[in-house]
Structure 1
Amino acid sequence: MTLLAERRPTRPAHPLRPEYRRGFAPLAGAAVLVTLLVSLAIVAVTWQGGWAETRDRAHFGAVLLGIPLALAAGCWQGGREHRRGTGELLRTSVRGSLSRFLAAALPVAAWVVAGHLAAAGLALLATWYCATGDSPYLVVPLTDAVLLGCAALAGHVVGRVVPWRLAAPLLAIGGYVVLGVLSYDHRGALSHLSPLLDSWPEEVQVWWRPPAMTAWLGGLTLAAVLAHAARRRATALLPLVAATAAAVLLTQTGEGLTRPNPVSLRQVCDTSTTPQICVNARYEKLLPQITDALSGLTGRLEGVRNVPVRFADGRGPQRADEVGLPSVDSLGWSVVRGRLVDPERFAWEAGMALVGRGDCSRTEPEPAATDAAVEHYLAPSPTEAYFDRLDARGDAESRAGLKARQEARARLLAMDEERRREWLSEYFATATGCDASGVPAL
């Protein structure tokens, strides 16, 4: 006799599961993810490798692109009952109006948030492997996720109130315009109510701005939801009061919403070279590459007097014993994905900062040829050979200038090491002045 196994009764699926797994909500999340990833990928070289740059670029896309998309997605979902003609039928349900609202709105909000967090996470991963220093800023994408969820819920309210198919795209366009005006109208106090944080990579927001911004926009959203769907609509006054208090705090604080990043106020130095090499702590991991790029220049200056003590990548005024290091804070130009793009040019710019420390240029033939000889000895220009060829095919004056430069280079290179160090010491004693008479002759 065969024994038939008793089947356990299957647990019924949650009625909201289809909303989360199929339909419009996953498409909305995918649209947010793709849009943000494309906006990040187009300009990847300008942020990849810098944590602050990654933070700002992801935040920019989340606010100016993600929030309008979330508004449109929520609005389209909210208008579903009007399009299907099921509004009267759903109002006969035993569920309350707020429960019905959340059942329809939360799937879209959740998927929109998931799409944004996935894009932000991929951006952080793209910077992690080539980061130049500093550390991730996780509070910003988490705050943006809350704001995108609020935008989806607010859009759902508009979709229920405005039974028009064009309401969703028009709401997205209107949201983009309002965000743009608030974000870039720096003269008005209302600009501080914008979720787009206007800051530099060297700045961070004060610790209480994220919760204040969440209270401001979240309070408005919750007030709108309660005023539309709650049984007791007077409860909408509580979040409205909280939003008003947060708005007053943001507008009254004004420019004080950001402060200098403590990391950007610190320098990391390699003291084994002459001059020493110091970079901003935000680019600490670039220091070995920079030291290697300048190794030829610093090696030739070993034992030479009257040179600056250090190359400084500072953000404040330089001291008398410092000279500026070529810029590394414009990602996508000198630094791409954590690597120096052109070490040879970087070394030449550093050498030019040493030679041209004065506020004037020496145009007299002999001092100009001497400066060019020192530049050639320390770190030749990557375009030096090209311009030499142009001068060789030029007029008599160009050919004479080329001959003077070549002779000056040859005389400097022909010196023995000790004599050259003494001569360079005398030369750098005059490097900060414009008086050509003090320049030692070659």
Structure 2
Amino acid sequence: MTLLIEKKPEAAAGFRPLRPEFRRGFAPLAGAAVLLTLLVALAEPAASWQGGWAETRDRTHAAAVLLGIPLALAAGCWQGGRERRCRTGDLLRTSVRGALPRFLASAVPVALWVAVGHLVAAGCALLATWYCATGDSPYLVVPLTDTLLLFAAALGGQAVGRVVPWRLTAPVLATCGYVVLGFLSYDHRNTYAGLSPLIDTSVTKLTVWWQPWVSVLWVGGLAATAVLALTARRRAVALVPLALATAAAITLVEADELTRPNPVARRQVCDTSTTPQVCVNKRYEELLPQITEALSGLTGRLEGVDNLPVRFEDRAGRSRPDEARLPMVTPLGRSVVRGKLTDPELYAWEAGMSLVGRGECDTTDDAVARTDRAVEHYLAPSPMEKYFDDLAAKGTEADRAKLKARQQARARLLGMAQDERREWLSEYFATADVCDPSGVPTL
């Protein structure tokens, strides 16, 4: 009788010791802890990043670095001390496998689960922005490199846990990691600030293309050095990743600039069908129809009027002579939440104020101020106008007299014939930024 024995593939046999670690035990719990922590950190201020790709990038990156890396260090460290806690170290050393394979069999499942937890959290954030994105495009390199950082941190934490098996090593290591990362990330005057993976990138900036990958080399090199110094037969092998990590660190510290302007943030997209034209930053081009609609009442009343700015724009800094400032949509979570204007009437009023305001004048004549408020009321009245009118109506006799004068000025402007009003407004906007009251037409 011939006995047939099926020979299993070597790859399957080599993976068999890892299966229990992947399926149950501490590794899945570590991945779940990272996932839950990052989701909670992202969910609380969701309105401040959801809808903007650059905002989503910065928020998920900050959470991954400041929360994910310390958690990965703690998870790896706790797993690394398991042999000492369970008193199985002597037994495992009798195994035919070498120290490095034994280390990886314990460390890789935790590191992979931590990386998967981060990837799922980052994917959820990207999906949350995708359905209400206002323009631009996702920055996929950042979550990918962050995943590698967390993987490396878990391996490094495992090495620390093997060397220092004290039960409080994991929380102490996580706390130290958080403090060091926070110090390097937010003290930008520090010479070594570039060593932090979290670089100061506002929504108008990008890191230089090589910075994320060099940061991975820096952190991964340190982790590999710790692992090889602990497990390699020839400890001198650890000098190779140490040299790579040192070269990466020098590159990050000595670099002149680790950021560059975001080219998308420097471009404008315009709706030329209105007067003035309406232009928004290209990062928020999907908001242009909503903004044009919000300003439709204002721009409709200005049709045929001369001496107007050519366009509304939302560039940072002072406007050009032929431009008027749009209310800024950033930071998200105020005027724009999840890709929608929260208060179109308030937005239109703020835009109208950039046309009629004389904010740089030290003093303003009462008649000129009354005229400005009448033009403001005609173009896009303030949502608070009725409240202040009612307050003045209940005030002193002087308050009621000023209210009556304002109401008469509004009535005179509204009572003009259309051609007469266009001519008057053209004359008015020719002096919209003049502080001398003698040249300003009044109502």
TM-score, normalising length from structure 1?
0.96
Note the C-alpha offset of 1:311.
Answer: 0.4
- Are the counterparts in 2 of residues 358 and 431 from structure 1 also a CA contact under 8 Å? no
SS, match of residue 280 in structure 2? strand
- Are the counterparts in 1 of residues 185 and 198 from structure 2 also a CA contact under 8 Å? yes
Give the equivalent residue in structure 2 for 1:211.
Answer: 213
Note the C-alpha offset of 1:361.
Answer: 5.9
Give the equivalent residue in structure 1 for 2:383.
Answer: 382
Q: Which amino acid aligns with 1:320?
A: P
Give the equivalent residue in structure 2 for 1:356.
Answer: 357
Q: Which amino acid aligns with 1:196?
A: L
Note the C-alpha offset of 1:195.
Answer: 1.2
Note the C-alpha offset of 1:8.
Answer: 8.0
**1:68 and 2:57 correspond:** no
Aligned mates of 1:400, 1:321 — CA distance in 2: 37
Q: Which amino acid aligns with 2:110?
A: V
- Are the counterparts in 1 of residues 197 and 215 from structure 2 also a CA contact under 8 Å? yes
Map 1:48-67 → 2, pairs under 5 A? 48-67=50-69
Q: Which amino acid aligns with 1:93?
A: S
1:316-365 Cα offsets, whole Å, 9 max, x none, are: 54211001100112100000000000000000000011001551165322
Which runs of no fewer than 5 residues in structure 2 stay unpaired?
Answer: none
- Are the counterparts in 2 of residues 362 and 368 from structure 1 also a CA contact under 8 Å? no
Note the C-alpha offset of 1:68.
Answer: 0.6
Q: Which amino acid aligns with 1:262?
A: P
- Are the counterparts in 1 of residues 264 and 283 from structure 2 also a CA contact under 8 Å? yes
- Are the counterparts in 2 of residues 48 and 126 from structure 1 also a CA contact under 8 Å? yes
Aligned mates of 2:183, 2:121 — CA distance in 1: 25
**1:231 and 2:233 correspond:** yes
Give the equivalent residue in structure 2 for 1:246.
Answer: 248
1:86-128 Cα offsets, whole Å, 9 max, x none, are: 0011111110100000000000000000000000000000000
Give the equivalent residue in structure 1 for 2:104.
Answer: 102
Give the equivalent residue in structure 2 for 1:276.
Answer: 277
- Are the counterparts in 2 of residues 362 and 436 from structure 1 also a CA contact under 8 Å? no
- Are the counterparts in 2 of residues 358 and 434 from structure 1 also a CA contact under 8 Å? no
Aligned mates of 2:197, 2:190 — CA distance in 1: 15
Give the equivalent residue in structure 2 for 1:145.
Answer: 147
Give the equivalent residue in structure 1 for 2:203.
Answer: 201
Give the equivalent residue in structure 2 for 1:296.
Answer: 297
Range 258-267 or range 184-193, more displaced? 184-193
Aligned mates of 1:119, 1:423 — CA distance in 2: 58
Aligned mates of 1:366, 1:328 — CA distance in 2: 33
Range 193-202 or range 129-138, more displaced? 193-202
**1:399 and 2:400 correspond:** yes
**1:333 and 2:331 correspond:** no
After superposition, the CA RMSD in angstroms is 1.5
- Are the counterparts in 2 of residues 79 and 163 from structure 1 also a CA contact under 8 Å? yes
Range 157-166 or range 311-320, more displaced? 311-320
Q: Rate the CA distance shift 1:361–1:293 in 2: closer, same or farther, 3 A.
A: farther
SS, match of residue 269 in structure 1? strand
Give the equivalent residue in structure 2 for 1:19.
Answer: 21
1:240-299 Cα offsets, whole Å, 9 max, x none, are: 111111111111114x10101010010000011010000000000000000000000000
Aligned mates of 1:55, 1:63 — CA distance in 2: 12
Map 1:147-226 → 2, pairs under 5 A? 147-226=149-228
Q: Which amino acid aligns with 1:377?
A: Y
SS, match of residue 15 in structure 1? helix
Aligned mates of 2:43, 2:373 — CA distance in 1: 42
Aligned mates of 2:223, 2:268 — CA distance in 1: 44
SS, match of residue 83 in structure 1? helix
Q: Rate the CA distance shift 1:317–1:375 in 2: closer, same or farther, 3 A.
A: closer
Aligned mates of 1:91, 1:355 — CA distance in 2: 81
Give the equivalent residue in structure 2 for 1:419.
Answer: 420
Q: Which amino acid aligns with 1:325?
A: L
Give the equivalent residue in structure 1 for 2:442.
Answer: 441
SS, match of residue 361 in structure 2? coil
Structure 1: 4+ residue segments shifted above 4 A: 6-13
